Amino acid sequence: MKRTAVVIILTLVSALALIGGDDELIDRKFPDFTFKTLDKEELVLSEFCEENPTIVTFWATWCKPCVKELGKLKEMKPELDARGVKVIAICEDGPRTQAKIKPFVRKEGWDFIICLDSDGKLKSKVGVADIPEFFILKSDMQIAYHHVSFKPGDEVEYLEQIEKLFPVLEEEKEIEEQ
Amino acid sequence: MKNNRIEFALICLVIFSSVAFSLSATARNTLEYRAAESDKGDSFLEDRLDLRMSISNISMGIRFEAMQPSRSSALTRPDSTYTAITQRWAEMMTDKFTITAGTFTKTMGKGFLLDARERLEIQEDHHLDGVNLDVDFSEVEIEFLAGNADWDNYSLFKAGQITSNWEYFPVNTGYIRFDVNGEDPLPDLIGETWSVGMAKDIGDFYAELRYANTWQGPAGAGVNYRGEAYYVNSSAIIGPIVLYGEFLEADSFLVKGYTQEYATLPLIVRQPSYTLLSRHLMELDPRNVTAFNANAMIYPIFDFEIDLSGAVVMKDSSDLVYYETYGSLSRDWKKFSLKGIYEYQDFANDDYFHNIVLEPLYYIADDKSFVLDLEFQSGTEYGESFSNFYALGELAISSLGSIGLEGGQLTESDGDKENFGRVYIDTYIAENHKLTLGYGRRPGGFTCSGGNCRYEPRFEGFELKLSSSF
């Protein structure tokens, strides 16, 4: 009886999952939250997004694809800066490895806003299951692009999306022309 | 009982709000089916659903996990089998207050007081059932918690902590009282711990100090234990070098995974970052230890990134029980990158591991890459010599997915060699549905992936996995 019930539930859930074709998260509102950065600064995500187009990504020091993804975002810095795009990297390291975050970030030379989420509160709020998970947010907090996991080459699509969504800032254009 | 009532009232409130107002919902579902070849073992069917609903500043959700055949968890609830687990939670959040009720995770005192961690598989349950109140006044944050441990179903917690975020006084202090849900508790299941810690940044120098004091056993029973733990970590940047060090001294301090599963000590030794070691994971008992490590990360010198570290663990202040040395060298060229790792681990019982890893990556085009992971281990385990190897080759095309081939050979505890190999395809069948198809043989054992470790049964056959967000 139990076996039948479980199989029925699984079938229903999978069928429900297959109904939608496109990424249902696109155009949805990203949950707002207040967070503290590694430098102890307190930021409200919605206020931050209003001022800057924002990338939010979830990572951890032990997650190899996450570190690769952030390394690629570091390489994209000129393109991101030209469009005023900021990166918020939410770190999921637990207490056993938390002490290594700061030296790790320094070693990698990441100039991102690093936010700690050691109790997984933000991860749960956003509904993130696997890391890395990558979001591009518009100024009204709508999700413009969403990607789960990272493989080398995914950064090409990230850049295409950023170029499509956010034009180069006027002051950057002037600098280029000069 | 009281906790259950509060929890029930909050969930009712959320349900009422959900019906009365508009609601937004998201869900993730992972369906996994493995069809074993005849007489090669069991077939598996698993499903994990994470459903979340929110309206304004109230949210609620359930996590559901079902599996066929029913099974027991290797780490928690070892004496019970199950076919499904359901967890539920509700949360109300304002600018200053957050109330969470139901099943949730919580860290207090950076793990010295409490560490109930999220796991990908709720089979390995490290959650709490209860209520948590968080009051955040920006400069000062106060938290209260009352709950029941999901991992054993009988540990009860009452805890609180105060964190000062004031720049000149960045202190965290907290207290936890743990008890049991039974009439005749074992003495070591009752106790309390308090901790105090401080972390400070001065320019390129960072230091963190923490102290915890623990007590167990019912008053007057004559079986009381007292324990203390001291922990220091510090890092400094000197030019292109990041120096990092940790020191830990702990006596009868209670740690996760032993008599009580409620707190955890920092990890002085390096976590396995490759595939083979995870199948031979050796846990060190962090009680009655003095341990330290030193780590130098150099980036970049002649375009090479260098990571060197060493760690030593001593028991009862003098007996060396473990030491390790680690070195890695990596470099990125325009279309090619290479990382090499060498690690030596030595256990006091004369067992030792040599681990060598090589990870070349080649970009065929901007969106196409080919990666290899080559790993070799040799040494002794329980006095018996062994050698293992593992190789993975994966071609990834950004817009399509990836195709991979992995295989290797492991030495089993009886000295026999076991070969394994598997081919897989990973692709998006729609924007929000990721499909993995695989065929081959997986070795059994404790495997770690993405920071989550779980026991994988030996398997040979066809596998299908569908991960969806909707």
Between B185 and B153, whose confidence is greater? Answer: B153
Query: CA of B181 to nearest chain A CA: how many angstroms apart?
Result: 25
Q: Answer yes or no: do B233 and A63 touch at CB < 8 A.
A: no
CA–CA distance, B262 with B115 (Å, rounded to integer) = 6
| Partner residue opposite A23 with nearest CB, options B120, B371, B432 | B432
Q: Is the pLDDT of residue A17 over 70?
A: no
**Residue A59 banded pLDDT, cuts 50, 70, 90:** very high
Which of B5-14, B148-157, B262-271 has the highest mean predicted lDDT (pLDDT)? B148-157
- State whether A7 and B68 contact (CB < 8 Å): yes
Phi, psi of B435 (to 5 degrees): -115, 135
For B240-283, write each residue's pLDDT tens digit: 899 999 998 888 776 554 445 566 667 677 777 777 766 655 55
Mean pLDDT of B174-186: 76
Contacts of A127 in chain B (CB under 8 A): 26-28, 50, 52, 61
When computed from its CA atoms, the radius of gyration of chain B, rounded to whole angstroms, is 24
pLDDT at B223 over 70: no
What fold does the segment set A26-177 form as a domain?
A: Glutaredoxin (3.40.30)
Q: What is the pTM of this model?
A: 0.82
A165 Cα to chain B: minimum distance (Å) = 18
Q: Do A6 and B235 touch (CB under 8 A)?
A: no
Mean per-residue pLDDT, A127-133: 81
CB contact under 8 A, B167 and A19: no
Say yes or no to pLDDT of B13 above 70: no
Chain B residues in contact with A63 by the CB 8 A cut-off are 450-451
Cα–Cα distance for residue pair B379/A146, rounded to 1 Å: 44
Determine whether the interchain pair B111/A123 forms a contact, defined as Cβ–Cβ distance below 8 Å. no
- For the segment A61-87, the average pLDDT, to the nearest whole number, is 91
Can you give the residue ranges of every domain in chain B?
Answer: 1-21+73-235+246-259
Q: Tell me, what's the pLDDT at B450? A: 44
Q: Is the pLDDT of residue B76 over 50?
A: no
Average pLDDT, chain B: 80
Is the model's pLDDT at B79 over the cut of 60? no
* pLDDT at residue B171 in the model: 94
pLDDT average, residue stretch B284-289: 73
Local confidence band at A16 (pLDDT 50, 70, 90 cut-offs)? low
Please determine, for residue B155, whether its predicted confidence score (pLDDT) is greater than 60. Answer: yes
CB spacing of A6 vs B83 below 8 angstroms: yes
Which residue among A60, A123, A153 places its CB closest to the CB of B397?
Answer: A153
The answer to whether the Cβ–Cβ distance between A153 and B363 falls below 8 Å is yes
Q: What is the pLDDT of residues B86-120, one digit of tens each?
A: 788 888 888 788 899 998 888 888 888 888 876 54
Looking at per-residue pLDDT, the higher value among B455 and B26 belongs to: B26
Whether B5 has a pLDDT exceeding 70, the answer reads: no
- Domain ranges (residues) in chain A: 26-177
Query: In Å, how far is A161's CA from the nearest CA of chain B?
Result: 13
Query: Which residues of chain A neighbour B111 with C-beta distances below 8 Å?
Result: 94-96, 98
Range from A30-34, A92-96, B121-125, B206-210 carrying the lowest mean pLDDT: B121-125
Query: What number is the ipTM of this complex?
Result: 0.79
Q: What is the pLDDT of residue B74?
A: 43
